[in-house]
């Protein structure tokens, strides 16, 4: 079976980093991708899709340090859906996230041309995985 997702887009906000109870770093951020297409009336339209991205360990720390709102990134990883019971309503909730295995910083630190705070534009950062992460350790 194959579960692989690759996106290029812009960060919608600065990343948020936390640590799990066992000390693993986890960083989350949202990436917007856009596509243009012609509608039935022939007019050009643009559609934006938002992806929730999760990074772990060394990759999480690097992303938290160098990524900022508006930065263009390439993200490669796998899709994972987790579920929980909403305490307020008692209903089951679901969230699909892109668990990143590689993040490539594109453009400059502010999303434009130029340097990236010690990382050159286009530098790839891979995941530092030490086995699967238990979803119960997620701090959110």
Backbone angles phi, psi at 61, to 5 degrees: -65, -40
Q: In the predicted model, is pLDDT for residue 55 greater than 90?
A: yes
0.85 cut: is pTM over it? no
The confidence score (pLDDT) of residue 85 equals 92
Q: How open is the CA angle 106-11-86, to the nearest 5 degrees?
A: 145
CA distance 28 to 38: 33
**What is the set of domains in the chain, with CATH numbers?**
5-33+45-129 (2.40.50.140)
User: Which pLDDT score is estimated for 97?
Assistant: 97
Q: Are 43 and 136 spatial neighbours (Cβ–Cβ below 8 Å)?
A: no
Task: Identify the weakest region by mean pLDDT among 21-30, 71-80, 81-90, 119-128.
Answer: 119-128
Half-sphere exposure of 99 (CA within 13 A, CB side): 16
For residue 80, pLDDT beyond 60: yes
Mean pLDDT of 52-65: 97
Are the beta carbons of 82 and 99 closer than 8 angstroms?
no
């Amino acid at each position: 079976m194959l579960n692989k997702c690759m996106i290029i887009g812009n960060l919608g906000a600065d990343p948020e980093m936390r640590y799990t109870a066992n000390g693993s770093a986890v960083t989350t951020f949202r990436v917007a991708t856009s596509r243009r297409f012609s509608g039935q009336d022939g007019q050009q339209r643009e559609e934006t899709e938002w992806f929730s991205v999760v990074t772990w360990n060394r990759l999480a720390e690097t992303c938290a340090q160098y990524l900022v709102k508006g930065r263009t990134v390439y993200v490669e990883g796998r899709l994972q859906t987790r579920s929980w019971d909403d305490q307020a309503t008692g209903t089951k909730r679901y969230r699909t996230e892109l668990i990143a295995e590689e993040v490539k910083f594109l453009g400059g630190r502010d999303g434009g041309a130029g340097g990236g705070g010690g990382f050159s534009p286009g530098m790839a950062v891979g995941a530092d995985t030490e086995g699967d992460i238990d979803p119960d350790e997620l701090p959110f």
